Chain A
Amino acid sequence: DVKVTQSSRYLVKRTGEKVFLECVQDMDHENMFWYRQDPGLGLRLIYFSYDVKMKEKGDIPEGYSVSREKKERFSLILESASTNQTSMYLCASSPVGGTEAFFGQGTRLTVV
């Protein structure tokens, strides 16, 4: 089975902190994604990567950056956390030309 693992289930951070959310997948997928989930808004794409060191902005990249130094790992970085970034963050991966994406269990981030 495909496994996408996010390093933390719950995080509490202070305003202004630099925050790292880590995601690892074990199926050698080329594509990796970071989504943000908020009630009533569904999932919104923050960034995606289709190869090592490659990244593309999604719908809501402001306030975020990403890093993909190895194929299996995709990190989401909040440069200076703010309270409006309190949310559920979901990582996903898929193969090139594949259809469905496979999701991690999510990280619920609270910024205080």
Chain B
Amino acid sequence: AQSVAQPEDQVNVAEGNPLTVKCTYSVSGNPYLFWYVQYPNRGLQFLLKYITGDNLVKGSYGFEAEFNKSQTSFHLKKPSALVSDSALYFCAVKSAGNMLTFGGGTRLMVKP
């Protein structure tokens, strides 16, 4: 069975500071890893994905994520946070097949 853990329910960061949202996963086989963002009362928007290749993946809105196979992690990062980045972030994994398994979500609060 595959699983995803997001150890922080909430991350607080000041505008202009770097941010990290943590994600670890468990899956048999090679993982496909994803980050999604959800703004209030909206569906999920795709941010970025890791399939293979370079461990540092760049995505939308200046976000990037680093795949670390030995630590089974896929942390989301951004060098300089914006207030508009405040939202709910979900990490997801899949291996064989088509089913995505999601973490519990991390609320990012960026304060001016």
Contacts and interface: CB of A to CB of B under 8 A. Distances in A.
A43 interface: yes
A90 B105 contact: no
B22 interface: no
B90 A108 contact: no
Contacts of B44: 43, 90, 92, 103
Interface residues of B, number: 23
A99 B44 CA distance: 15
Interface residues of A, number: 28
A44 to B, nearest CB: 8
20 contacts: A31-B98, A33-B100, A40-B104, A42-B4, A42-B103, A42-B104, A43-B102, A45-B99, A50-B98, A92-B44, A94-B98, A96-B98, A98-B98, A99-B34, A99-B51, A100-B34, A101-B100, A103-B45, A105-B42, A105-B43
